[in-house]
Amino acid sequence: MKKLYALTLSMMLLLLVMAGCSTKDNNKQSDAKKQSADKKVELTVSAAASLQDALDDIKADFEKDHPNVKLNYNFGASGTLQQQISQGAPVDLFFSAAEDKFDLLVKKGKIDKKKGEDLVGNDLVLIVPKDSNKGITSFKDLTKATKIALGTPEAVPAGQYGEETLKNLNLWKSVKGKVVYGKDVRQVLTYVESGNVDAGIVYKTDALISSKVKIVATASEKSHTPIIYPVGVIKDSSHLKEAQLFYNYLHSKKSMQIFKKYGFNGLK
């Protein structure tokens, strides 16, 4: 009887231990699933500086709708961003202010053409400080300026478009020596806001966000390459599913309304 009692007790203890282990394993699996569901994915979006305000608004809405995805923006000149991506920078999406910079990444196999699209457009404008008394009211009046701000054409699409416009108006030779170059379109805007230059060439969207400058002229669409902003998912993104999710969100009606609010032109 004693042996039978001892054997029964041992079996009961073994069952209790096994049950405890099973519960722990189930709890661990449950916790792992919960952590996986709660784990935030961080996306890096390299975007033209002129998109900053619109994308900041879109970020707030997107992260509210998708709390498991965090957006990290890298704003700058499209040419500079394109070079960074070409050299292997860990980026998930590229939103360029020029088709040629975007197409270079498509040709290099960094972006699948099927996962990229021209999304919005913009206008090129001439701005002066709000209290300017230089009498600059058109592009032809730039001959009156002492200093003119322009994005570096090789890296900044707005600078490229600006140079094209000035050449088409036969003004480039007479104003070239007065140009002060900016690393991106926002720096050009800052130069004009501060009064360090007499005028600058920026996108309409940049001019509209500043109370320190005024638009005095808009460049004819025929005077420069069409201003088109393509966006696409980087092929070697570590988070293709989430990158595609944000790409689709940028095409949504809600996002397009935000772009238009900041002065961008819809292409659809």
Side chain identity at residue 197, one-letter code: V
CATH number, domain 41-120+229-266: 3.40.190.10
- Beta strands at 93-95 and 148-151: parallel, antiparallel or unpaired: unpaired
Domain with CATH 3.40.190.10 in the chain: 41-120+229-266, 124-223
Q: Is 158 annotated as a binding residue?
A: yes
Res 9: pLDDT: 52
pTM equals: 0.82
Contacts of 90 (CB under 8 A, 6+ apart): 44, 238
- pLDDT tens track for 209-265: 999 999 999 999 999 999 999 999 999 999 999 999 999 999 999 999 999 999 999
CA dihedral 11, 15, 18, 19 (to 10 degrees): -170
**CATH topology classification for 124-223:** D-Maltodextrin-Binding Protein; domain 2 (3.40.190)
- pLDDT tens track for 12-66: 555 554 555 454 455 544 443 443 445 789 999 999 999 999 999 999 999 999 9
Give CB contacts under 8 A, 24+ apart, made by 251-259: 251/117, 251/119, 254/61, 255/58, 255/61, 256/120, 258/54, 258/57, 258/58, 258/61, 259/54, 259/119, 259/120
> Over pLDDT 90: what percentage of the chain?
83
Q: Is 145 annotated as a binding residue?
A: no
Q: Using CA atoms, how far apart are residues 122 and 263, in angstroms rounded to an integer? A: 7
Are 157 and 50 spatial neighbours (Cβ–Cβ below 8 Å)? Answer: no
Q: Is 262 annotated as a binding residue?
A: no
Q: Is 185 annotated as a binding residue?
A: yes
